[in-house]
Amino acid sequence: MQDRITLGMNRTGLRTSPMEAEAMLSGLPMQEDAPMPEIGLEDIRAQYLEESEPVGSMPPPTTLKGVVGTVAETLSGNRLHVLLDKIGERAAYERSGTRLYDAMLQRLATETALPEGMTRELVEEIRDEEARHFALCVEAIEKLGGDPTLQTPCADLAGVQGMGLMQAINDPRATLSQALQTLLAAEVIDVASWELLIELATQLGRDELVTQFNDALTRENEHVARVTGWLRLSLQADLSLSGDMDSDPDTRRAT
């Protein structure tokens, strides 16, 4: 695992090899004479958007409490399943967040130098809070008469979104700064999503949930501040390192 970004033989830019770049680009004008396809990419995408079905659906309540709650909210002009869908999303995302910090903890086992103030204990603390937020969402779904084992449409999308974050933080080539950047991206999304969930719960008059969700939001804001501080110090350390050009060619890696 690399501990910093080094200068090396990155050959992805055109200016690395001007002669080959000129030869490659010389063929582009010929594309003007090529026949245009009957159906363009935008047309194909538009067709998919028109014909595709939703990612998923919300099932009817499976408990008497859920039925009563849904009927009551519907009569008042509200749609309880929208709130349940978004809580399901948070549950999926918090579960992914727990795994992200598990991956960071595994990374820390090989790190020789951490930013000032960053300790394994503090990372574990955030990890445990993410797990508690997942449990909070499960409990909230049950209180509303829903099924916490259900993968809601928004939870499905959250899982897909989380795959990219998991791939980034588990990439063995990533530096500590890059791993922290991944955590920060996850936490920023988390904060905004909790804020929106609180608005929905407030509109439905779920005061108890609003209080619990606000507590979670407070902790998530603390996560953002903490991870941002670690990332800032890690980048400063990267910036101050001398000898960025690695003298050993075997350690240089072309992207």
Q: What would the pLDDT profile of 69-124 be if each residue is shown by its tens digit? A: 554 444 344 578 899 999 999 999 999 999 999 999 999 998 888 999 999 999 99
User: Does the pLDDT at position 125 exceed 80?
Assistant: yes
State the amino acid at position 22 in one-letter form: E
Report H helices in 171-253. Answer: 176-203, 207-240
For the chain, what is the mean pLDDT?
83
DSSP 8-class letter at 2: -
Report how many helices (DSSP H) and strands (DSSP E) the chain contains, helices first.
8, 0
251: part of which helix (H) or strand (E)? none
**Lowest mean pLDDT, pick from 171-180, 184-193, 195-204, 242-251:** 242-251
Question: Is residue 240 helix, strand or coil?
Answer: helix
Contacts of 27 (CB under 8 A, 6+ apart): none
Q: What would the pLDDT profile of 154-173 be if each residue is shown by its tens digit? A: 999 999 999 999 999 999 99
Give the model's confidence band at 35: pLDDT under 50 very low, under 70 low, under 90 confident, else very high: low
Average pLDDT, stretch 222-229?
98
**Lowest mean pLDDT, pick from 58-67, 157-166, 204-213:** 58-67
**Lowest mean pLDDT, pick from 25-29, 161-165, 192-196, 230-234:** 25-29
- For residue 3, the model assigns a pLDDT of 60
- For residue 5, the model assigns a pLDDT of 66
Query: What is the rounded CA–CA span in Å between residue 95 and residue 131?
Result: 7
- 238, 4 Cβ separation under 8 angstroms: yes
First-to-final CA distance of the chain: 15
Question: Is residue 72 helix, strand or coil?
Answer: helix
DSSP 21-51: HHHHHTTGGGGGGSPPPSS-HHHHHHHHHHH
Query: What is the rounded CA–CA span in Å between residue 163 and residue 165?
Result: 5
- For residue 243, the model assigns a pLDDT of 45
How many other β-carbons are positioned within 10 Å of the β-carbon of residue 156? 16
Contacts of 148 (CB under 8 A, 6+ apart): 88, 91, 137, 138, 141, 142
Query: What is the rounded CA–CA span in Å between residue 85 and residue 153?
Result: 7
Fold of 79-240: Ferritin (1.20.1260)
Average pLDDT, stretch 22-44?
67
Which pairs count as long-range contacts for 118-123, CB under 8 Å and 24+ apart, including other chains? 118/230, 118/233, 122/226
Torsion of CA 178, 184, 185, 188, to 10 degrees: -170
